[in-house]
Amino acid sequence: MPTKHTIVALVENKPGVLNRMASLFRRRGFNIESIAVGLSETPDLSRVTIVVDGATTMVEQVRKQLAKVIDVVRVSDISDTDLVARELALIKVKASSVTRSEIMQIVDIFRANIIDVGTDSVTVEVTGDEDKINSLFNLLRGFGIRELARTGRIAMTRGGSNSLREKEAPKTHTRKPKT
């Protein structure tokens, strides 16, 4: 049964590493839903967060294959752990002088920001989990969407330990109250 998996990895910051990782998914016919790459707490190491839909046994096989890639320092499937996950989206919405204030109200409710205003558009920046971004997007759709860019998920396990430093990511933590 396909389920959504969040895989995080620490990788050497070298050319071709992403290609090596992505090809392991491609070979098995997995569609990568999102992939986010950036710096990590360690110099020279990048942090990759991959979201993929697949049967657990297959994803586990890919995780093991990822661990074999020489440039992959650590990799973990943190789907079953208590985690915090966020993504960022930029949404450019059609806005006239009539609709602009309504859009601003919606943006306020979602604690999003307007980061650019044009004569006939506004650009909204929103951070949150996928559901929040989807909800905001759906509400703004009525005004007409010019452009949408999403970063894809980045994630960490809750609590004090490093998602990738521990052999086994901790399973339970006291959940922080949702803000």
Query: Could you list the residues that contact other proteins (CB under 8 A)?
Result: 12, 15-16, 19-20, 23, 27, 57, 60-61, 64-65, 67-68, 70-74
Shortest reach from residue 10's CB to other proteins, in Å:
8
Nearest CB to other proteins, comparing residues 26 and 111: 26
b/e per residue 78-112 (b: at least 16 CB within 10 A): bbebbbeebbebebbbbbeeebbeebbebbeebeb
Shortest reach from residue 115's CB to other proteins, in Å:
36
Nearest CB to other proteins, comparing residues 3 and 23: 23
Shortest reach from residue 73's CB to other proteins, in Å:
4
Token pair of 126, please? Answer: 């929103």
**Contact (Cβ atoms closer than 8 angstroms) between residue 37 and residue 48:** yes
Nearest CB to other proteins, comparing residues 40 and 121: 40
How far apart CA 70 and CA 129 sit, in angstroms, is 32
